[in-house]
Structure 1
Amino acid sequence: MSAPATYRAERQLIAEACRVLAERGLADGILGHISLRVGDGQVLVRCRGQQERGLGWTTPDDVRLVTLDGEPAAEGELEEHSVPNELPLHTAVLRARPDVVSVVHAHPPRVVVADLAGIAIRPIVGAFDIPGTRLAAGGVPVYPRGVLIRNERLGVEMVAAMGERPVVVLRGHGLTSAAMTVEQAVLQALSVDTIAGLAIQVTASGGTLVDLPEEDMAELPDLGTGFNTETAWRHELARAGIVG
């Protein structure tokens, strides 16, 4: 069954974002999902269909409209799809954080490895990734339980660990990224993954991780959302082969 006609652009955006996550190695296989708040008590979320092929092959048909309780928000929405087991991961954030519109959950191996090795996400780079540096400078908390966030109790625990930060690392599991847009939530996850990868390489080479000095942090310009988000997102779409 094809996805209903409502929210066509939003379903397309989520599908493309899932493919970006897969192309970048943050959501290998069939695990991971993205949600988008679209109304009072309603959310579009990447669901699993009967012919599941993985995030790299997500289509708008895989994106379904449900309530925050996981029920179909319109006729036919879940006839051939099921919501993620970890829908409470998304809904716990959306219920607690009115500033959040989109939630990304992914399983980046480098983020998992860095955390298990005791390597925190820190502002070790500068102009290499300005948004990522600023995100890391604010701190990336860790939810210390390697469990599926499959009920409200665990979702509330994760949100408590996350606090007001945009990203939380899930120990032995992955990460959750929250933002005002799907694009921003994905790009945040990519930045955390990149910094984790660099940190692993530095320590594996015998180096010591050093935070960017405050005077250098102060020199980093704000390039604006047009560059940081819009241009970066066009690149990610092209990189994933989505833009012709």
Structure 2
Amino acid sequence: MVTSSAYGDLTTARAEIAAACRVLAARGLADGILGHISLRVGEDAILVRCRGPRERGLGFTTAEDIRLVTLDGAALGEGELDGYSVPNELPLHAEVLRARPDVEAVVHAHPPAVVAADLAGIRIRPIVGAYDIPGTRLAAGGVPVYPRGVLVRNQRLALEMTAAMGERPVVLLRGHGLTSAAASVEQAVLQAVSVDTIARLSLTITASGGTLLDLPDEDMAELPDLGAGFTTGVAWRHELARAEGSLRQAD
């Protein structure tokens, strides 16, 4: 898994963050050139997906696009930002990481279904059970909303978003997308996938005239803990294979 490491050779982390960006694109959570992932690698150091001279979008991210910078966006190392620019919304990543010592990775994406569901007044709720156990538990704990449809481009707006997020793993950004935070890049991406899945199901159910109902407490109590090896490890290998297949088709 991609977790923070001693500041030094970050070659593997760069490659794995790039792969995670491709997963976001393959899942339709970050279509086009928008969206980014960061990973804490030091007290004031992160690896973050940047935009370079051969930008083609998240689905074509390579390790070269993952750059080492401070939380304020300054290059860490000679030539680190030559030809590259940090995301406009770098403060979004920085303030989550500053506020949350439990967080190592931050994902920001623009899933259309998540945006549509929120604008329709549909909350992310535990409407499923064994269909997606981690997602059900995440939804049961609550998914807050930052109610401003703005580009989170400065510390003031980032602090507003972080306050709305609180201690939760995911916050929706109205008319914008979502921010997911976790102890690893894989977990942060998989959380975003789960929220997107629930949003899609919610839109389908309500469009069909159905009513959204939370999973009963007795069913929630029956959901087993399948362990990180299955819920993260196996799930992540699937996502990588899925993204690789999508990239081959695109080429």
TM norm. shorter chain > 0.5: yes
The residue that corresponds to 1:51 in the other structure is 54
2:178 counterpart of 1:164:
no
- Find out whether 1:101 has 2:104 as its counterpart: yes
Q: C-alpha displacement at 1:29, in angstroms?
A: 0.2
Counterpart of 1:206? 209
Q: Which runs of 4 or more aligned residues in structure 1 lie more than 3 Å from their structure 2 counterparts after TM superposition? A: none
User: Partners in 2 of 1:55 and 1:75 — Cα distance?
Assistant: 25
| CA offsets 1:47-99 (integer angstroms, 9 cap, x no match) | 00011100000000000000011000111110110000000000010000000
Residue 148 of structure 2: aligned partner: 145
If the length of structure 2 is used for normalisation, what is the TM-score? 0.94
Instruction: Measure how far apart 1:145 and its partner are.
Output: 0.2
Aligned to 1:73: 76
User: What is the TM-score when the length of structure 1 is the normalising length?
Assistant: 0.97
Residues 28-67 of structure 1 mapped to structure 2, 5 A cutoff: 28-67=31-70
Distance 1:123 1:73 in 2: 42
Q: Which residue of 2 aligns with 1:26?
A: 29
Q: For the residues of structure 2 that align with 1:161 and 1:74, how far apart are their CA atoms?
A: 34
CA distance in 2, matches of 1:77, 1:100: 24
Residue number in structure 2 paired with 1:134: 137
Instruction: Tell me the CA shift for residue 23 of structure 1.
Output: 0.5
Counterpart in the other structure of 1:175: 178
* SS of residue matched to 2:186: helix
Q: RMSD across aligned C-alpha pairs, in angstroms? A: 1.3
Tell me by how many angstroms 1:6 deviates. 3.0
Q: Which residue of 2 aligns with 1:188?
A: 191
Structure 2 alignment gaps of length 5 or more = 1-7
Question: Which residue matches 1:11?
Answer: 14
**2:119 equivalent among 116, 121, 130:** 116
The residue type equivalent to 2:98 in the other structure is: R
**Residues in 2 aligned to 1:34 and 1:69: alpha-carbon distance in whole angstroms:** 15
